[in-house]
Amino acid sequence: MNYLFGDDFIARPRRELAPGAVHVPNWLTLEQQQWIVARFKEWANGPVPIRSARVGGHEMSVKTVCLGWHWHPYQYTRNAVDVNGNRVLDFPDWMVRLGRKAIVEASGDPNAGDDYTPDTALLNYYDATARMGMHQDKDELSNAPVVSLSIGDTSTFRFGNTTNRSKPYEDITLASGDLFVFGGASRLAYHGITRIHPGTAPADCGLNAGRINITMRVTGLNDQ
Ligand code: MD6
Ligand code: FE
């Protein structure tokens, strides 16, 4: 009862922060979260093990494993050329369906997801001290929306403007099960994670410590 209709339900309403940027708290059920965490653990130990990408000689504090296409600064390839050369796992059909449902949910249009076929997902793992600096997601050729899901510890997400990394920006809480869709006029908004709040994950989400963020994207790329 508290989980369903408690303070959180009132304090964190569904909200469009800017045109095309929609936050839907508590969108995934605990059972869906658990199942995704179990898959994440398999993928993290798959053909391309989870790792911290190197950006300009520094390791990112976040660890990443990819599906469909492998992201490394600042491009997508089928093979993890900066890890072990192996091909990344295919993008699963169930995740395409989940992405379409997310677009329908965020837009309120029952047909809005029909043409949405994400072909890559980045799964980021944050420990208690990990951060993500302000950035734009601009390595995709398509301007289709990015679907973001959070599981585990709560984070502070900084949603900025499309011009630069500084103000104006707004800090919001992304908690376990939250959906955030980044599309339309907000597709190239700067954003980042300023902190993780250790010990805040719901007991039954499947993750004991840290946070997983999944972002599904449409690369606009073809093989060959
Ligand atoms: C995160 N998210 O939530 C980092 N990117 O851990 C992202 O970088 C992100 O949430 C594009 C669209 C939505 C996002
Ligand atoms: Fe991003």
Segment 20-35, tens digit of pLDDT = 999 999 999 999 999 9
Q: Token digits for 105? A: 């949910």
Residue 9 pLDDT > 90? no
Residues with CB under 6 A from ligand 1: 124, 132, 137, 146, 148, 157, 174, 180, 182, 191, 193, 213, 215
Ligand 1 atom with the smallest distance to the CA of 182 is 12
Does residue 10 sit within a domain?
no
pLDDT at residue 55 greater than cutoff 70: yes
Per the confidence metrics, is the pTM higher than 0.85? yes
User: Which residues span the domain enclosing 36?
Assistant: 15-217
1 lies in a domain?
Answer: no
The residue behind tokens 């296409």 is 69
Cα–Cα distance, 187 to 148 (Å, whole number) = 12
CATH of the domain at 117: 2.60.120.590
Inside any domain, residue 222: no
Q: Which of 210, 62, 45 is nearest to 122 (CA)?
A: 62
The answer to whether residue 126 sits within a structural domain is yes
Quick one: average pLDDT of 74-80?
97
How far is the C-alpha of 100 from the C-alpha of 97, rounded, in Å?
Answer: 5
- Whether 72 has a pLDDT exceeding 80, the answer reads yes
Domain assignment present for 4: no
Closest C-alpha residue for ligand 1 atom 8: 192
What is residue 3's predicted lDDT score, i.e. its pLDDT? 67
User: How remote is the CA of residue 25 from the centroid of ligand 1, in Å?
Assistant: 15
Q: Where are the alpha helices (DSSP H) in 56-215?
A: 93-107
Mean pLDDT of 52-75: 97
Is residue 7 included in any domain, yes or no?
Answer: no
Look-up: residue for tokens 């963020």?
213
Average pLDDT estimate for 91-120: 98
Atom of ligand 1 nearest to the CA of 213: 6
Closest residue by Cα to atom 10, ligand 1, is 148
Residues recorded for the chain: 224
Q: Determine phi and psi for 94, rounding to 5 degrees.
A: -65, -30
65 pLDDT band, cuts 50/70/90, is: very high
Distance from the alpha carbon of residue 183 to the mean position of ligand 1, in angstroms? 12
Number of domains in the chain: 1
Rounded to whole angstroms, how far apart are CA atoms 20 and 10?
23
Query: How many whole angstroms separate alpha carbon 6 and alpha carbon 202?
Result: 14
Protein residue whose Cα sits closest to atom 3 of ligand 1: 213
User: Can you tell me which atom of ligand 1 is nearest the CA of 124?
Assistant: 6
In a domain, 223, yes or no: no
Q: Would 8 be classed as within a structural domain?
A: no
Nearest C-alpha to atom 1 of ligand 1 is from which residue?
Answer: 213
